[in-house]
């Protein structure tokens, strides 16, 4: 499609987006009603895709700059949330309503990510049953050392723990866990750009590692040590990793199945939702790291850690299943995470 055709077909929608931006600038978030908020989000995504088309088609620089201003203004309104208290309110609204609704709409990708991860776990465990030595080869040395230490500790004291943590170092360890887990989720998400192949491979390998570690502890007769440690934080940390994997798979799906759009347009549109999925997982990972640092290595009895895990996992499940239900799911439109001051743009004369 040439540039003139794009302009002819899309000019009215650009003008409508500009009008909505003007109202947000003049009256703040209250300037738009719920239906207009959904319309605003849809027009913004369409304008972002149009901008990519115009650049490819070599459009008039003035037209291109106009659409750039619309997209920049829309981005500011959607994600930077200016105005008194708007940032906190917008973020809170996104976490409570927008993020769980987005996860539900990504159910197919989440299910695929979970299936690949579980396949890795089962493969590793099956291999360990036949060849225990291979399971040990799959584990980094630090996990082998912990399993052996647990065996020795149980023999000497009659009980064992996965790791002993000096309370003075708990805050530092917690921050380290957050950094490591966020980095892992960003990597599995970013590899979606390989048409999802890299993301799927990382999900499989992570599952293999988890299954191999569980198999090694079981082979040493200290499976309870491993599962007691994982019980508290695993129900939060594992879903967060799988949602990040789903975000990467959505990127890959945009490249493999762009539909009627160009691959670039499909990727631009999909990256918005995928990036927001990743942002929501960061909150889950912070919660998981706090539990892993303060509860998982504590002297709390195993039933107490299991109760914490069940409570945390149940809360996450309820949040995902119920958050924002019925408010922002019409026709698959996501709730806007925040509205604030936006750059007004006038159509080129």
pLDDT at 27: 66
3-class SS letters over 239-281: HHHHHHHHHHHHHHHHHHCCCCCCHHHHHHHHHHHHHHHHHHH
3-class SS letters over the chain: CCHHHHHHHHHHHHHHHHHHHHHHHHHHHHHCCHHHHHHHHHHHHHHHHHHHHHHHHCCCHHHHHHHHHHHHHHHHHHHHCCCCCHHHHHHHHHHHHHHHHHHHHCHHHHHHHHHHHHHHHHHHHHHHHHCHHHHHHHCCHHHHHHHHHHHHHHHHHCCCCCCCCCHHHHHHHHHHHHHHHHHHHHHHHHHHHHCCHHHHHHHHHHHHHHHHHHHHHHHCCCHHHHHHHHHHHHHHHHHHHHHHHHHHHHHHHHHHCCCCCCHHHHHHHHHHHHHHHHHHHHHHHHHHHHHHHHCCCCCCCHHHHHHHHHHHHHHHHHHHHHCCCCCCCHHHCCCCCCCCCCCCCCCCC
Report if residue 334 sits inside a domain.
no
Residues 160 and 273 grouped into a single domain = yes
Residues 90 and 132 grouped into a single domain = no
Q: Which residues of the chain fall below pLDDT 50?
A: 81-87, 328-349
pLDDT tens digits along 75-102: 777 665 444 444 455 677 778 888 898 8
Residues 59 and 151 grouped into a single domain = no
pLDDT at 260: 64
Report if residue 214 sits inside a domain.
yes
Residues 89 and 123 grouped into a single domain = no
Q: Is the pTM of this model over 0.75?
A: no
Residues 29 and 169 grouped into a single domain = no
Report if residue 331 sits inside a domain.
no
The answer for residues whose C-beta is within 8 angstroms of residue 41's C-beta and 6 or more apart is: 78, 333, 334, 336
Residues 77 and 117 grouped into a single domain = no
Report if residue 308 sits inside a domain.
yes
Residues 8 and 149 grouped into a single domain = no
Residues 147 and 20 grouped into a single domain = no
Residues 124 and 78 grouped into a single domain = no
Tokens 């004369």 belong to 349
Q: Which of 78, 97, 116 is the last residue in one of the domains?
A: 97
pLDDT tens digits along 240-280: 999 999 999 998 888 888 766 677 777 777 777 788 888 88
The answer to whether the CB of 41 falls within 8 A of the CB of 16 is no
Residues 151 and 71 grouped into a single domain = no
Rounded-to-integer distance, Cα 128 and Cα 135, Å:
5
Report if residue 20 sits inside a domain.
yes
Report if residue 343 sits inside a domain.
no
Residues 148 and 194 grouped into a single domain = yes
Rounded-to-integer distance, Cα 252 and Cα 63, Å:
31
Residues 118 and 249 grouped into a single domain = yes
pLDDT at 337: 39
Report if residue 193 sits inside a domain.
yes
The answer for residues whose C-beta is within 8 angstroms of residue 111's C-beta and 6 or more apart is: none
Rounded-to-integer distance, Cα 79 and Cα 74, Å:
8
Q: Which of 65, 81, 97 is the last residue in one of the domains?
A: 97
Q: Give, in degrees to the nearest 5, the angle at Cα 168 between 167 and 169.
A: 90
- Considering its fold, how many domains does the chain have in total? 2
CA 317 to centroid of chain Cα atoms: 15
**Domain span including residue 210:** 102-323
């Amino acid at each position: 499609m040439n540039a003139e055709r794009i302009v002819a077909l899309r000019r009215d929608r650009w003008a409508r987006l500009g009008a909505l931006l003007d109202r947000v600038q003049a009256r703040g978030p209250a300037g738009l009603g719920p239906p207009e908020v959904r319309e605003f989000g849809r027009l913004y995504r369409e304008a972002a895709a149009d901008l990519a088309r115009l650049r490819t088609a070599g459009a008039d620089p003035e037209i291109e700059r106009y659409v750039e201003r619309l997209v920049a203004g829309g981005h500011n309104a959607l994600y930077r949330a200016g105005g008194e208290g708007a940032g906190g309110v917008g973020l809170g609204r996104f976490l409570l309503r927008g993020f769980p609704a987005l996860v539900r709409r990504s159910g197919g990708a989440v299910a695929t990510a979970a299936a690949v991860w579980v396949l890795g776990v089962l493969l590793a465990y099956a291999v360990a049953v036949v060849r225990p030595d291979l399971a040990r080869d799959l584990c980094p040395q630090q996990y082998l050392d912990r399993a052996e230490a647990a065996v020795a500790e149980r023999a000497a004291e009659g009980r064992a723990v996965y790791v002993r943590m000096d309370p003075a170092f708990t805050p530092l360890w917690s921050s380290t866990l957050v950094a490591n887990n966020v980095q892992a989720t960003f990597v599995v998400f970013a590899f979606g750009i390989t048409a999802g192949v890299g993301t799927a491979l990382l999900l499989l390998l992570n599952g293999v590692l988890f299954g191999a570690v569980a198999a090694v502890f079981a082979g040493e007769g200290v499976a309870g040590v491993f599962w007691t440690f994982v019980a508290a934080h695993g129900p939060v940390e594992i879903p967060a990793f799988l949602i990040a994997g789903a975000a990467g798979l959505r990127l890959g799906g945009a490249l493999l199945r762009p539909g009627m759009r160009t691959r670039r347009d499909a990727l631009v549109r999909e990256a918005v939702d995928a990036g927001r999925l990743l942002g929501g997982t960061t909150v889950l990972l912070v919660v998981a790291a706090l539990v892993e640092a303060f509860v998982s290595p504590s002297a709390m009895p195993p039933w107490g850690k299991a109760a914490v895990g069940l409570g945390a996992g149940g809360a996450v499940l309820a949040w995902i299943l119920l958050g924002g239900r019925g408010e922002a799911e019409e026709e698959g439109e996501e709730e806007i995470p925040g509205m604030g001051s936006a750059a007004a743009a006038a159509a080129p004369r």
